[in-house]
Amino acid sequence: MKKDRTIVLALTGASGMPYSLRLMEKILASGNRLYLLYSTVAQIVIRQEMGISLPARAADAEEYFRERFRPEPGKFRVFGREEWFSPVTSGSNPPDAMVVCPCTMGSLAAFAAGLSQNIIERAVDVMLKERRQLILVPRETPFSTIHLENMLKLSKAGALILPANPGFYQHPEKVEDLVDYIVARILDHLDIPQDISPRWGEGEE
């Protein structure tokens, strides 16, 4: 695993914030650099699902998560929705990887259309045009034909579509086990070592 990489995590307004927080925790614990982006609707959903009042100001959100996860110095930044001078908005300084988790169907459509109306959309556009690793974690059911066509378009453009569909072969005993299943799959694709969820066949005699 290449260390000291820069990974962007974007939160949009779909259900699935437990995945986001667990992923944030594990990325920061890995020693890689994490840039966090989040939408206005993500603030609503994270309050509903996690009881967290995520501040609107990026500096306040950064302070909150620093206290929660205690990242290494210089390894964590939060950028506001209109910070167009942030590193994630330019192909001259692209991150190594980006994960949108959870990913709304509205955001997915904007990505597929190549829009750059906010910092999340622009960051995704940069990842695609620079051929960097992009993982999209949609959390929706059922998928309409439009959703599926947008996913196919993004997959052809180089994105990895990793739906938040947990498996059950690991015999989960609590909700956290299902969360860890998805987070483990994301970490595997980011080439970040993980032992939070067993792989198929592990532990079998």
CA 71 distance to own-chain centroid: 17
Q: Report the pLDDT value the prediction gives residue 203, as an integer from 0 to 100.
A: 59
How much is the mean pLDDT over the chain?
95
Give 102-157 pLDDT, tens digit per residue: 999 999 999 999 999 999 999 999 999 999 999 999 999 999 999 999 999 999 99
Quick one: what percent of the chain has pLDDT higher than 90?
93
pTM of the model: 0.96
Positive/negative CA dihedral, 120, 87, 37, 155: positive
Segment 69-94 shows an average pLDDT of 95
pLDDT band at 18 (very low <50, low <70, confident <90, very high): very high
Q: Report the pLDDT value the prediction gives residue 129, as an integer from 0 to 100.
A: 97
For 75, phi then psi, to 5°, come to -105, 5
Q: Report the pLDDT value the prediction gives residue 202, as an integer from 0 to 100.
A: 78
Give 34-50 pLDDT, tens digit per residue: 999 999 999 999 999 99
Separation CA 121–CA 111 (nearest Å): 6
Burial of 12 (0-12, 13-18, 19+ CB in 10 A): buried
Q: What is the CATH number of domain 6-189?
A: 3.40.50.1950
Q: Report the pLDDT value the prediction gives residue 1, as an integer from 0 to 100.
A: 53
Separation CA 176–CA 144 (nearest Å): 29
Element containing residue 87 per DSSP (H, E): none
Domain ranges of the chain: 6-189
